[in-house]
Amino acid sequence: MPKDTVTLTDNSTGKSVELPIRRGTHGPAVVDIGNLYKDLGMFTYDPGFVATASCRSTITYIDGEKGVLLYRGYPIEQLAEGSNHLEVCYLLWYGRLPSKAEYDSFVDTITHHTMIHEGLKDFYSGFHRGAHPMAVMVGVVGALSAFYHDFLDINDPMHREVSAQRLIAKMPTIAAWAHRYSRGQPFIYPQNHLGYAENFLNMMFSFPSEPYTVNPVAARALDLILLLHADHEQNASTSTVRLAGSSDANPFAAVSAGVGALWGPLHGGASESVVNMLKTIGSVANIPKFIERAHDPKDTFRLMGFGHRVYKHYDPRAAIMRRTCYDVLKALNVSDPLFEIALKLEEIALKDDYFVQRKLYPNVDFYSGIILRALGIPTSMFTVIFTIGRTVGWVSQWNEMLTSDERKIGRPRQLYVGAPQRDYVPLEKR
């Protein structure tokens, strides 16, 4: 019976080490290099962690070659069709689908955690009105640990559950109030009779001075966007939350670090960059010129919303988003010239050798902005919407990290290429 190991030989010394192979449910096996440094005196080297597994996880699985995305084993297409964001939150946190009674109880719990401490309201007034709402999100989410001290024992499962529920419940309120503050508009409080996405849209767009009813098409579309963004394996922001949480930092501090990582235009900030890019392209006629720019390694222009570290096939979330674009624009009777440009851009790029050779396909961010524009969400709020959706993924992965039998503080090593050791030269001798 062949041994489930790989042998690594240092040909400069002839020294070898045998390393165990670990196999999962789906996807590539891994080589456990835990003894590599002890036995061979070397580290592995993998900038950007392109071929490095950082943990064992049971939460989400992506097959980048086939364009498959599973949340706790359930295909994203089936969840998009038959579930909703809060049920997916239950699934990601508890690892199984809820019964009707469990679902209703979970929704009730989340609903009754949507208010935030009144002291946090004053916190907003310290921000510049023109601040990017993601700057407000980083600050206010981090500040939650200054207001919610009562359930911060990260070794207590119930404390972790309450903190996770607080984050899932309060993120829409924090987000909507960031938007209202930027417009000088009054904060609208959560309404417990409204659904999760409906409540957010009400806090975003209603006014105390007149009745307001959330369009159910808009609420369903937003709920779907949140569901599609809920989790995605060990992406940059989730890895940030795991690393921050591995020092036993409180969940609000760890998630605040994740918010900061998500903000980057190469990650969650891409949805905002896609719409700005489509506006810059301006017309279908201009597309070829920008495709050429994307080819040019010297040109910093990239086709935002295209390409992915894992997906080398169509991002299944993008396919669902594109279908939803049609439905929402039609139902809301909105025609958006940017959608036409996006569809044509995708059609041309998918036939272009540069993109085909590099297996660059539309990702989750390519179409989401078109839908959010149709819902009246300002472009600067797109990554904030991503933050609301991804919160459950961050806290579920954080919880998994803390309950793992491999739990330890994350502390990568390096290849040192700096100056050799040398003696200090006093100033008068330089």
Residues marked active site are found at: 308, 365
Please give the helix or strand (H or E) that residue 60 lies within, else none: strand 60-63
- What are the φ/ψ torsions at residue 70 (nearest 5 degrees)? -120, 130
Q: Which is nearer to ligand SDX, 203 or 360 (CB)?
A: 360
Q: Which is nearer to ligand SDX, 132 or 308 (CB)?
A: 308
Encode 303-312: b = buried (16+ Cβ within 10 Å), e = exposed.
Answer: bbbbbbbbbb
Q: How far is the CB of 366 from ligand SDX (least distance, A)?
A: 7
In terms of DSSP H, where are the helices of 190-269? 196-205, 216-228, 236-245, 251-262
How many CB atoms lie under 10 A from the CB of residue 184? Answer: 7
Query: C-alpha distances in angstroms, 69 versus 77, 168, 213, 315, 361?
Result: 8, 22, 34, 8, 15
Q: Which is nearer to ligand SDX, 116 or 392 (CB)?
A: 392
Question: What burial class does residue 149 get, using C-beta atoms within 10 Å of its C-beta: 0-12 exposed, 13-18 middle, 19+ buried?
Answer: exposed
Q: Which is nearer to ligand SDX, 124 or 339 (CB)?
A: 339
What lies within 8 Å, CB to CB, of 199 at 6+ separation is 114, 172, 190, 191
The residue of the chain with the least Cβ separation from ligand SDX equals 307
3-class SS of residue 306: strand
What is the longest distance spanned by two Cα atoms in the chain? 79
Task: List interacting residues with ligand SDX (CB under 6 A).
Answer: 48, 232, 235, 266-268, 270, 294, 297, 302-310, 358, 360, 363-365
Q: Which is nearer to ligand SDX, 297 or 420 (CB)?
A: 297
Q: Which is nearer to ligand SDX, 62 or 107 (CB)?
A: 62
Q: How far is the CB of 369 from ligand SDX (least distance, A)?
A: 11
How many CB atoms lie under 10 A from the CB of residue 81? Answer: 10
Half-sphere exposure of 153 (CA within 13 A, CB side): 6
Q: How far is the CB of 364 from ligand SDX (least distance, A)?
A: 5
